[in-house]
Amino acid sequence: MSRVDRRSGYWDRDKETMSGPARERYQARWLAELVELAWEKAPGVRRRLEHAQLGPAQLRRPADLARLPVIKKSEMPDLQRMDPPFGGFCTEPLDRIRRIFVSPGPILEPMGPEWSAWHVEACLYAGGFRPGDVVLNTFLYQLVPAAHEIDEALSLIGCTVVPTGVGNTDTQVTTARAVGATGFVGTPSFLMTVLKRAEEMGGGRLAFQVAQVGAEALPESLRRQLEEDYGIMTRQGFGTADLGMIAYECPEKSGMHLVDDAIVQVCDPQSGEPLAVGRIGEIVATVNHRTYPMIRFATGDLTVLTDEPCPCGRTAPRMLGWRGRADEVTKVRGMFIHPRQVDEVAARARGLARWQVVVGREGHQDTLTFRAELTPGAEGAAVRGVVEAAIRDVMKLRGSVEVVPAGTIPEGAKKIADERKWD
């Protein structure tokens, strides 16, 4: 396949470029239909609504969803044991289910009769996949749904899928060469493993032009290597086995656009209350999946949203990356901070050997102190200024910096030490 334009165009221009009011009307329409369907055919959803003293008439607009308490992913195994196999959250009888997946938990997820229920096509198209691509799908095809969801979406786009699954690096290289594969789906680390093995085996570089990666972090240093050294357009998305795809990168790589068939709220991990744009919180999503209607499903993952315009022309808000897990956060003066943010602060300063954030309490006020052990020759004043500025920028808080002697912070210490006493 010759080089094609992988950066312009849309999978569904009308949806992806909707105005804010138009998107709200679109989501209100499918939300009302979904809640009505779930009320009638998914007893687990009906029980949730009745427990919250709500009916379909009270959940007709995206803003109405805040009235319904979230359901945590961690609750699903118990709910499914009490009401097998899907906890009462499936609207279809078993004889209409195409596949049943088994995710860790264990949690069972149904794939119903409809196609495109996982909303992956816009993600792959924005990431550069085009009709005629031959794609190695190296995600696991057993038990979990990711490989099948992506396989289906690639077929809808018009790609040829080679379901290689995980491992067998030599076979991956040989197969990619034999079919002239132009696309790759899998983890970023395995993509690099395949590329390096191809070089060792000889025969020239593989023909990959585009890659959709996930299931692990994509460091920008690795992405640069894949794009600059190997010429592979590399993009990522965010989804879960329960929800399907809910956000994806466009050619600009400036965050992940929210899928129009997912209502994504960033919420306080403790109360479930939606937070303002720009605040870090837990991803809570409602997806337009008629077989498996997840309504206010709390993923346990943290992010922050922006509604700033994107040069690509897509108008949906964007997730600014994955910010860790909700059960690892600490709330300081009303703001959540996460160990990843501590490392991000540290990365902006030179001369740090070890570091730790300590949260304390003075009177009725929280305090935040960044403890720092310095490398030999580092200047404390310079480090202090950089770190204080980084705390304000990354954590949106003010904090002090305490330079401590070497050995003060134990090896393996928590990145955030909460030393507050609540008498």
User: What pLDDT sits at residue 1?
Assistant: 65
Cα→Cα distances 25→19, 62, 176, 189, 289, Å:
10, 9, 44, 41, 18
Alpha helices in 86-144 (DSSP H): 121-126
Helix (H, G, I), strand (E, B) or coil at 410: coil
Nearest residue to 124 via CA among 163, 151, 162, 164? 151
Q: What is the pLDDT along the chain (423 residues), one digit of tens a residue?
A: 667 899 999 999 999 999 999 999 999 999 999 999 999 999 999 999 999 999 999 999 999 999 999 999 889 999 999 999 999 999 999 999 999 999 877 899 999 999 999 999 999 999 999 999 999 999 999 988 999 999 999 999 999 999 999 889 999 999 999 999 999 999 888 999 999 999 999 988 999 999 999 887 788 888 999 999 999 999 999 998 899 999 999 999 999 999 999 999 999 988 899 999 999 999 999 999 999 999 999 998 889 999 999 999 999 999 998 777 776 667 787 677 878 889 989 999 999 999 999 998 887 678 999 999 999 988 889 999 999 999 998 888 889 999 999 999 998 888 998 888 755
- The residues with which 58 forms a beta bridge, in sequence order, are none
What lies within 8 Å, CB to CB, of 186 at 6+ separation is: 136, 137, 138, 139, 166, 211, 213, 215
CA 252 to the chain's CA centroid: 17
Asked if residue 207 lies in contact with residue 80, where contact means CB atoms within 8 angstroms, the answer is no
**Which residue segments constitute the domains of the chain, with CATH numbers given?**
330-418 (3.30.300.30)
What lies within 8 Å, CB to CB, of 183 at 6+ separation is: 129, 133, 134, 135, 136, 154, 159, 208, 209, 210, 211, 212
- The residues with which 102 forms a beta bridge, in sequence order, are 108
Asked if residue 317 lies in contact with residue 307, where contact means CB atoms within 8 angstroms, the answer is yes
Helix (H, G, I), strand (E, B) or coil at 99: strand
Asked if residue 236 lies in contact with residue 219, where contact means CB atoms within 8 angstroms, the answer is no
Here the tokens at position 133 are 């691509």
User: What pLDDT sits at residue 338?
Assistant: 79
Q: Model-level pTM?
A: 0.79
CA 25 to the chain's CA centroid: 25
- The residues with which 361 forms a beta bridge, in sequence order, are 366
Parallel, antiparallel, or unpaired for β 210-213 and 244-249? unpaired
Helix (H, G, I), strand (E, B) or coil at 371: strand
**Angle at CA 287, nearest 5°, toward 283 and 288?**
165
Q: Alpha-carbon dihedral of residues 270, 271, 276, 280, nearest 10 degrees?
A: 10
Asked if residue 421 lies in contact with residue 367, where contact means CB atoms within 8 angstroms, the answer is no
Parallel, antiparallel, or unpaired for β 256-258 and 318-319? antiparallel
Summary count for the chain: helices (H), strands (E): 11, 21
User: What pLDDT sits at residue 15?
Assistant: 96
The helix or strand, by DSSP H or E, that contains position 14, with its residue range, turns out to be: helix 13-16
User: What pLDDT sits at residue 325?
Assistant: 73
Helix (H, G, I), strand (E, B) or coil at 384: helix
Parallel, antiparallel, or unpaired for β 183-186 and 160-162? unpaired
- State how far the Cα of 355 lies from the Cα of 346, in Å rounded to an integer: 7
- Count other Cβ atoms within 10 Å, centred on residue 114: 13
DSSP E strands: which ranges in 363-415?
365-374, 400-403
**Angle at CA 117, nearest 5°, toward 138 and 109?**
70
